[in-house]
Structures are given as C-alpha cells and as structure tokens.
Chains A and B, each alone.
Chain A
Amino acid sequence: MQRGDVKAFNQLFDEFYAPLFYYSRHLVREEEEAKDIVLSGLYKCWERRGQFEDYQHIRSFLYLVVRNEGLNHLKKEQREATRLHDFLLSAELTEREEDYLATEAEVLKKVYKAVENLPDKCRRVFELTYLEEKSVAEIAELLQISASNVAVQRHRAVQLLRLALTDVPLALLYVCINLMKR
C-alpha cells in the first residue's frame, strides 16, 4: 500500500469495504450515511498509509475510525438517542476489545470470500438461493438450467463452503421431485 496508486487503493477497498459497511450499517442504519462513514475511514487510512506496520494495524485502525464516526453520527442526531442507548446495550460494545460486531463482520468477510471462490454457476445458484431467496423454479428459469441441476449446484455449494447453513436443499429436493412429477 506504500505505492500511492489506484491499484493499491483498490486492494485496500476490496479487502475492507464490505465488512466495514456491514459494521457501519449496524451503527447508523441509513445506507448513504453508512457508506459515507466507511469511505471517510478509508480516506483517513489512505492518508496515513505510510504509517501502518501490518495488516492488523490497518484493520484495527479502520474499525476504530468507523466506530467513532458512527457513534458521533448517532450522538449528533437527537432522535437517535434511544437507538444509541439500545445499540450500546444490545451490541455488546462495552469496551474496545469486545467489539463483537467487528469480529462478526470479519467472519462474514471470510464466508463471503469463500462464496466468491465457488465455481461460477455454483456461486450464482448459491447467491440466488440464500441471498435472494429465490425458489428452485425461479433459479432454473433465470439461469436456463434444469431444476435438478439447481439442486445439484446448491448441494455442491454447501459442500464446498462446508458451512452449516439453513437446511434448504432437503426441502427443495422435495419440491423438485414434485415438480418433476407433473
């Protein structure tokens, strides 16, 4: 990141934007505000890019900045007073070391990376299933593949990711069988 060029910035962005956005969305709810806060954090990080020792250092800095800006934003908005209160209670954000939300964001980042590494069709099916909650029939239509193929890809995705996700395949296999009967 020492090079001050677009490519280096893109790398920083790719690594941190999504989890930071997840984090900041939990703080401020409004998408636009959340995005601005994250970008502001990234800009600050970028300005100081010569000063970071390692990855952890950068990561801690970013979450810290985003958290502070998020809290500042909440404090500024009078009507957010109750939410700030709720947030502090429910998000277990009592001390810096216990930033569960940040940890969660980082875990999700890994999960999402694993999803992105799936083979193309498999990934598409996975996204349509879990993220967009489409039915097998809808997916089959969208991707122009058979319903059984959809089920196969789903199963494959879950296998590859080896994640304990909602046990959708079983239920849908049932639906598939029914569809195919007609």
Chain B
Amino acid sequence: MDRPSFDIEVLLFKALQGSLNEEETAWLEAWKAQKPDNSAFAEQLKNPERLTGKLRFYAAHNQEAARQEAIRHLFPQRRTIPLFRWVAAAAVFVVMAVGAWLWMGRSGVDKSGHGIAEATGIAPGHEGAVLTLADGSQLLLDTVKNGVVALQNGVTARIINGSLHYEGTGAGMAYNTMSTPKGRLFQLTLPDGTQVWLNSASAIRYPLVFKGAKREVSITGEAYFEVAANAHQPFVVVVAGRAEVQVLGTHFNVNAYDNEHQIAATLLEGAVQVKKLEAGNASVILQPGQQALLNEGAGINLVKVADIDKVMAWKNGLFNFEGASLQDVMRQLERWYDIEVVFEEPMPAITFGGKMTKGMALNDLLEALKGVEGTDIQFRMEEGRKLIVSRRK
C-alpha cells in the first residue's frame, strides 16, 4: 500500500494476515464496535475453516469462458475491433492447395527482403507497388511519396500523395506494368484520367498513351476502376486473358485472382459489357449493382443484386467475410499479410460472417479467431512467413 487506506475490505484482509498497524487496528476495532453485525462478520471471516470454504467457492469460477463470451458480445458492435461469427456445417472439406499466381508474364512471388516471420508482428499490408517500365526496369514505389517517377517518350509519371499519375502525350507505343506484391495496395491514374485501385497481388498493364479505337488495359488479381468518360474511345479491360470488360465511363470492380475459382466483375455506376474470351464468347451487359461471375467452361452467371459492400471492402480498408469459407478467408489473409497458409489436415466446413479492418497485425486477428466458442482451429507461424492451420486435439 502506498498510502493508508481505510476501506474495510483492506483492513479485514490485513487482519487475516496479521499485518495491521496501530492506527488500522484501532480503526477496525471502532468499526466492529459500531454494531454487532460488523463484529460478527469480521469474526466469521477469520474462522479458518469458513475462510477455506469461502475461498474454495470463490475459486470455482469459469472465468475464461465468461471472458470470451463478454468479448464476443462487446466487440463486434464496435467498428474498430473485428470478430467472426462461425456457422459449422456437417461436411468435411479436403485440403485446399495454396496456389501461386501469375502476374503479367512473371511467375512466382519474389519473397526476397521479407525476412523471417516472428511469432509476433506480421504487420498488415500497406500502400506500395512495383512499376515496371517499358524497358523492363523496375521501380519500387513504396518509398516515393511525391515526385516525378519516370520520364519516357515525352510522358511524365508523377507521384502525388502516394498515387501515380500519368501526364502528357508522347510518341511511340510503350507499356508499363504496375504490380502489387502480396501485402500491398496501390492507386494510380492512367494517362486518360481513369483511376485504378489495385489490391494485393495484382497487376495492370497499360500503354503510356491511349491511342487507337479503344483504350485497352490488362489486369490480373483485383482492381477497381473509375473510368474517365470518353464515348469515342471505349475502355476495355482484359481480365487474366480470359475475359473482357468493355465500358464507356463507369465505376466497376474486377476480381480475377488466379487461385480464386471464378472471375467476378461488379458494376457500381454506368454500364459495361462483360465478355468471355473463350469457349463461345458468352457475354452479358451489367446494370449498376450487378455482378458477372465467370467460371471455367460454363457461361456467365449474372448476379442481380451483388453485395457491393463486400466487393468494395478491400478498397475501403476492410475485410468483408460474409458467407466466406475458411479457405476464402485464408486466401485473403495470404494476399494481405504476405504469408503462405498451409492446412495441416482437413478442416471442417465453416462459414464466416463479419467484417474486419485490414489494419491489424496478423497475430491479433488470429487471436480473435481462436477465441470463438465451438471451434477447434489452431494457428501457428513458422519460418518463411508460413501460417499453419490445424485442429486442436
């Protein structure tokens, strides 16, 4: 005790220990004398058998379960702290392999410079990208916040507040590729004023100048576009070489990760036509709020009411896991945290709900996952930024 306290409970405790000083003793005696009930209470507390019994009763609390319940209850309501809801299904899924993905002409991931993963602190992704110029040279855009990036063929690329803008008209036809590795997000403005947001592990290839009948770009991964209006020059996005989205001037999102089983193009504003570049060239025209889903082989699925919130979550700095499976969630975490997820054994089918901010450290996120009742999933980190997912035995 740093300062004297005359709370009864403090005095009573000290009395049990026999560590009362004179002043305290006097105080306690005075309290006891105030009324017979006080005195009786103090006495019965001192009784060794009763004290032991009470202590036993006290210790019989299932504190941790209550704690988890409380945290689940309080923190999903709070926007800043994430939590998952799980719905367990009966079936058991076979392990899903972790795939590599292809960038424009590049294969594999450049993991150099990422270092060894530690048990604590895999930081969330952040802004930054790699710009590959027409001559093949590469530029890491992380560290450049503002300034001129490249000067090619009369075209200037300028970084303003962390996003890339192209200016000027030039001669010749040169292409640049902007790619984001895992754990990075980037925004750039194309020479025509179209704004593009690239999610992690994505790439966009585009000409420095939009000449010709169409403005054509190619993407892999996931990107959100706000296309500058130009009726004379339709904007075409070639998606992972398998589909084409033709637009006039609109806002839309394309999700085309190699290790997701389908391509999804979602329209927010304007109008687009989505066409398959294979097997029959099926095509569909989207209205705002609609989504086209393209699978291997089959035609195009039209979703009339897309979950825009979920589609755009990544751009708004959130994960949205509504209806996602454990594998879906892990794939998203892989891209954002730049980790490799390995499933040690078949996992039960689980459907998630909920949203989460992308700004948390991986460890905190996994803690939240572990804390959910009725689940037996375990995580551990291994060297090389590997996350091993297994079941609690």
Q: How far is the CB of A176 from chain B (nearest CB, A)?
A: 20
Contact, CB under 8 Å: B48 / A9: no
B56 contacts A by Cβ under 8 Å = yes
Decide: A104 near B37, CB < 8 A? Known: A9-B70, A164-B16.
no
Minimal Cβ-Cβ distance residue in A for B50 = A166
A4 contacts B by Cβ under 8 Å = yes
- Count of chain A residues near B, Cβ 8 A: 44
Contact, CB under 8 Å: B73 / A18: no
A89 contacts B by Cβ under 8 Å = no
Among B8, B18, B51: residue with most chain A CB under 10 A? B51
Contact, CB under 8 Å: B81 / A5: yes
Bound Cα distance from A125 to B287, whole angstroms: 71
Bound Cα distance from A114 to B18, whole angstroms: 14
Decide: A100 near B37, CB < 8 A? Known: A22-B57, A39-B69, A161-B17.
yes
Q: Which of A143-182 contact B (CB under 8 A)?
A: 161-167
Contact, CB under 8 Å: B16 / A18: no
Q: Which of A14-63 contact B (CB under 8 A)?
A: 17-19, 21-22, 25, 31, 35, 38-39, 42-43, 46
Bound Cα distance from A38 to B48, whole angstroms: 28
Interface string of B57-83 (1 = CB under 8 A from A): 111011100110111011100101100
CB < 8 Å: which of A4, A130, A167 contacts B55?
Answer: A130
Dominant secondary structure at the B interface = helix
Contact, CB under 8 Å: B66 / A107: no
Contact, CB under 8 Å: A130 / B75: no
Q: Which of A84-129 contact B (CB under 8 A)?
A: 92, 98, 100, 103-112, 115, 127
Bound Cα distance from A25 to B74, whole angstroms: 23
Decide: A103 near B70, CB < 8 A? Known: A17-B63, A18-B58.
no
CB < 8 Å: which of A22, A115, A164 contacts B51?
Answer: A164
Decide: A127 near B45, CB < 8 A? Known: A107-B12, A164-B16.
no
B383 contacts A by Cβ under 8 Å = no
**CB-based closest 3 A-B pairs:** A106-B9, A162-B17, A110-B13
B residues in contact (CB < 8 Å) with A? 8-10, 12-13, 16-19, 37, 41, 45-46, 48-49, 51-52, 54-59, 61-63, 66-67, 69-71, 73-75, 78, 80-81
29 inter-chain pairs at a CB distance below 8 angstroms, sorted by A residue, are: A4-B80, A5-B80, A6-B71, A9-B75, A19-B58, A21-B61, A21-B66, A25-B57, A38-B66, A43-B70, A43-B73, A46-B74, A98-B37, A100-B37, A104-B54, A107-B45, A108-B55, A108-B58, A110-B9, A111-B55, A111-B58, A115-B55, A131-B55, A131-B59, A162-B17, A162-B18, A163-B51, A165-B48, A167-B48
A residues in contact (CB < 8 Å) with B? 4-6, 9-10, 13, 17-19, 21-22, 25, 31, 35, 38-39, 42-43, 46, 92, 98, 100, 103-112, 115, 127, 130-131, 133, 161-167
